[in-house]
Structure 1
Amino acid sequence: MAGSTTAERGERRQESSGPPPARKFTPPRLRTIIILAVALVLLATGSVWLLYGSQWLRVERVSVSGTRVLTSAQVREAADVPVGSPLISVDTEVIEARLRRKLPRIDAVDVVRSWPHGIRLKVVERTPVLLVQKDRNFVEVDEEGVRFATVSRAPKGVPALELTLSRPGSRAASLRRFGEDRLVREAVRVAGAIPAAVARDTRTVKVRSYDDISLELGGGRTVAWGSGEKGSAKARTLTALMKASPDARHFDVSVPTAPASSGS
């Protein structure tokens, strides 16, 4: 019989050199799975013990920053951080709420874990913009109209707030319509709009009604401001008016487009 031709041998080689068979997936051995599972359990157990059971990551110190009137000791006492407890278990939100509740002078506070052994209390205190006299003491009012502290000595540079009676029944009518808190907020609004140079010389902010607010400055000078509206325009007008009439004693910017000054 005649042997295979060259073409036939080539076809057989192509058939035999086709793609290799796919490799079958071999699942991990049971022993390997058990070892990995045990390792994960040990790792998790060790982490829990390190965070909660060991003596390495516990609260040992509490630091305070940002205070101006309050002392660090006052803040630490009010915070009541559980020294000796696991650092991870300290509830920072509860401490923040406790500080704001016990120390109304605090406007904001950030309680931060300082690994491995500390808690940091970053405090922002409220700043008084007005004072309300109460007997022999003074109640501090911040820029939001919050009455946050009572002090025996008036802070320097903070004007007094007076709710006064301009004519019979007017104060009562304003209080019924707006409420005392609203009138206080309007006074705060005015205090925040006063030009810096004038603010340094302002002794008293008087509120007779919602739209009858005035300023008493040093040297017996007065400013009729009106309501708390258009504060920026009134501030610009007052600055220009004082420059134009430096010897005047009384200024009226209640209508900023029609200002007036009088006296000398």
Structure 2
Amino acid sequence: MAGPTTAERGERQQDSPGPLPLRRLSPRRARVLLALVLALVLCASGGVWVLYGSPWLRVRHVSVSGTRVLTPQQVREAADVPLGASLVSVDTDAIEARLRRELPRIRRVDAVRSWPHGIGLKVTERNPVLLVRKGGNFVEVDSEGVRFATVSDAPKGVPLLELTLSRAGSAAASLRRFDEDRLVREAVRVAGAVPAGVAQRTRAVKVRTYDAISLELGGGRSVLWGSAEDGRAKARVLTALMKAAPDARHFDVSVPTAPASSGS
């Protein structure tokens, strides 16, 4: 049987309804659609106004937690949070950067929104592991080798860092290779590796060169540590050596496979 002619196909296309989106809406449906669009626009506009323009979600207070040496007031002043600003518009990243810049004692800070009216500042302070004497004051050095604060009174239990750097002979060559900042970081590594029992008695960490670091203990005792390498092995050997020679005054663990003690 022959198929429909071209004329018949044309007639069918004219009789068939067009796609639904192109069909003409009834007045009632058009009104409903318009009302829905207006409602969505109003809701969006209202939401923006509530977040940015209304008096309901404004910064009214700033809370501070985690401080030890710093005071909450110092943190608030350095943070300079804009009271009265819309809470959603406060730049928390800028607050964190400003606090780290203005208060170097802060190692980390998290600024978080506390709905509906607050900003919370969670502070983590740096802890001193060594002190550098500077005139009549002390510069605190943390576990990353960062010199972060100058204080008039030395914190208890924190040893002094004494840099007695030689600039002659082989020591001068070592200093050219390892500058002062690097040597400070090496001293910090040593301080972190010293056994807890010995750390409590350590009065000073002395640095002459990269591989000539020593500990000054209370009671006139000393430990030649050497470089900061093999810290765990040196700590184990030192603990064993002090037990084996409890009356010795000088200990050498610079080569942990061949430790030595002397004096009594």
TM-score under structure 2 normalisation? 0.88
SS across alignment from 2:84? coil
Find out whether 1:67 has 2:90 as its counterpart: no
C-alpha contact (below 8 Å) 2:160/2:204 kept by paired residues: yes
Structure 2 CA distance, aligned partners of 1:25 and 1:80?
58
Corresponding position of 1:256: 256
Q: Deviations over 1:128-179 (max 9, x none)?
A: 0000001111000000000000001100000000111468455543332111
Structure 1 CA distance, aligned partners of 2:40 and 2:157?
64
Structure 2 CA distance, aligned partners of 1:127 and 1:91?
28
Structure 2 CA distance for partners of 1:175 and 1:249, relative to 1, 3 Å? same
Q: Which has the larger radius of gyration?
A: 1
Corresponding position of 1:55: 55
C-alpha contact (below 8 Å) 2:52/2:89 kept by paired residues: yes
Q: Deviations over 1:177-209 (max 9, x none)?
A: 111110000000000000000000000000010
Pairwise CA distance, 1:25: 5.9
SS across alignment from 2:225? strand
Q: Deviations over 1:208-227 (max 9, x none)?
A: 10000000000010000000
RMSD (CA atoms): 1.5
Corresponding position of 1:237: 237
Pairwise CA distance, 1:58: 0.1
Corresponding position of 2:106: 106
Structure 1 CA distance, aligned partners of 2:179 and 2:191?
19
Q: Deviations over 1:63-120 (max 9, x none)?
A: 0000000000000000000000000010000000000000000000000000000000
Structure 2 CA distance, aligned partners of 1:77 and 1:229?
43
Counterpart code for 1:261: S
Structure 2 CA distance, aligned partners of 1:168 and 1:180?
15
Counterpart code for 2:128: P
Counting only pairs closer than 5 Å after superposition, residues 111-126 of structure 1 correspond to structure 2 as 111-126=111-126
Find out whether 1:173 has 2:173 as its counterpart: yes
Structure 2 CA distance, aligned partners of 1:167 and 1:183?
14
Counterpart code for 1:68: R
Identity of aligned residues (%): 76
- Structure 1 residue runs of 5 or longer lacking an equivalent are 1-23
Counterpart code for 1:104: P
When the two structures are aligned, how many residues end up with a matched partner? 241
C-alpha contact (below 8 Å) 2:167/2:175 kept by paired residues: no
Structure 1 CA distance, aligned partners of 2:229 and 2:103?
33
Counting only pairs closer than 5 Å after superposition, residues 125-164 of structure 1 correspond to structure 2 as 125-164=125-164
Corresponding position of 1:221: 221
Structure 1 CA distance, aligned partners of 2:251 and 2:59?
60
Structure 2 CA distance for partners of 1:242 and 1:157, relative to 1, 3 Å? same
Structure 2 CA distance, aligned partners of 1:205 and 1:36?
75
SS across alignment from 1:204? strand
- Structure 2 residue runs of 5 or longer lacking an equivalent are 1-18
SS across alignment from 2:44? helix
Counting only pairs closer than 5 Å after superposition, residues 21-100 of structure 1 correspond to structure 2 as 29-100=29-100
TM-score under structure 1 normalisation? 0.88
SS across alignment from 1:145? coil
Counterpart code for 1:222: S
Find out whether 1:190 has 2:195 as its counterpart: no
